[in-house]
């Protein structure tokens, strides 16, 4: 299989708006736009090869809440979209894939309900991603509101690999939304412990994070890309430049 590396813009949805949270705190929200479809088109027009969309309300409530918005985003784009947030049953996973998403991201279900993860990978091969959101090596669930799962991130990743997940989105909650820089060394170490390619998430501050992640990929690290959110919205990272770096040009 050919190894690929992407920079992936993120759209986090809350009450139908584009927002970003600081360290997963729902009380620390920054609003970036009222038209998620227009935002999605913007990232595609600026060179994105994939889009990352999260239903934050769904993640917190345990069920999809932004279905119509996500379907509209998928219809508007020609690039693949990966979607997470509130996907805890086979029906909800099927619904988001039927709505046009290429991939469904399972977070809480991947940790708390291995049977759902196994069934999803069997029913939708090549289309299931595990979302592992961690603080201090322990996995948080329920939209990061519940940290009582106390499961080790590597153990969850190995279970995802055995199930057949195509990728893992690995988020460092303490860095997410901070623009303090991605925890790349820790992520590379985590990625070496299992076979599923890892997408770096949390804290991306600018082009140097993309450059460093691509360099690690070139050295053989088990990485598949990097997700960028606040840095893009605040202008610290220009997507066209990031795409250039993600291709290994100018690194």
Q: How many residues does the chain have?
A: 251
CB atoms within 10 A of CB 125: 10
Angle subtended at Cα 86 by Cα 176 and Cα 225, rounded to the nearest 5 degrees: 45
- Residue 223: helix, strand or coil by DSSP? strand
In the residue annotation, 45 being an active-site residue is answered as no
Q: Are 227 and 199 in contact (CB under 8 A)?
A: yes
Nearest to 207 by CA among 167, 251, 159, 169: 251
Q: Are 168 and 198 in contact (CB under 8 A)?
A: yes
Pair of tokens at residue 228: 């960028």
- Residue 43: helix, strand or coil by DSSP? helix
Per annotation, catalytic residue among 55, 57, 133, 209: 133
Give the integer Cα–Cα distance in Å for 202 and 98.
Answer: 28
235's CB contacts (< 8 A; 6+ apart) are none
8-state DSSP, 14: E
In the residue annotation, 12 being an active-site residue is answered as yes
Catalytic site residues?
12, 133
């Amino acid at each position: 299989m050919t190894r690929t590396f992407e920079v992936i813009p993120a759209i986090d949805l809350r009450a139908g708006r584009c927002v970003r949270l600081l360290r997963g705190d729902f009380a620390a929200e920054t609003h970036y736009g009222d038209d998620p479809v227009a935002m999605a088109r913007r990232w595609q027009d600026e060179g994105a090869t994939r889009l990352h969309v999260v239903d934050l309300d769904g993640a917190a409530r345990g069920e999809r809440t932004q279905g119509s918005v996500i379907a509209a985003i998928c219809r508007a784009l020609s690039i693949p979209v990966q979607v997470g947030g509130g996907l805890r049953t086979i029906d909800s996973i099927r619904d988001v894939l039927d709505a046009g998403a290429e991939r469904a991201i399972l977070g809480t279900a991947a940790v708390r309900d291995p049977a759902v993860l196994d069934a999803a990978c069997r029913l939708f091969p090549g289309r299931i991603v595990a979302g592992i959101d961690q603080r201090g090596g322990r996995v948080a669930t329920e939209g990061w509101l519940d940290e009582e799962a106390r499961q080790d991130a590597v153990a969850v990743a190995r279970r995802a690999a055995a199930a057949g997940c195509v990728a893992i989105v690995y988020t460092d909650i303490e860095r997410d939304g901070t623009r303090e820089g991605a925890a790349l060394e820790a992520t590379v170490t985590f990625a070496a412990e299992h076979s599923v390619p890892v997408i770096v998430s949390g804290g991306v501050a600018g082009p140097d994070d993309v450059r460093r992640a691509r360099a690690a990929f070139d050295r053989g690290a088990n990485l598949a890309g990097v997700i960028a959110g606040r840095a893009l919205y605040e202008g610290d990272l220009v997507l066209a430049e990031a795409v250039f770096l993600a291709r290994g040009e100018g690194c």
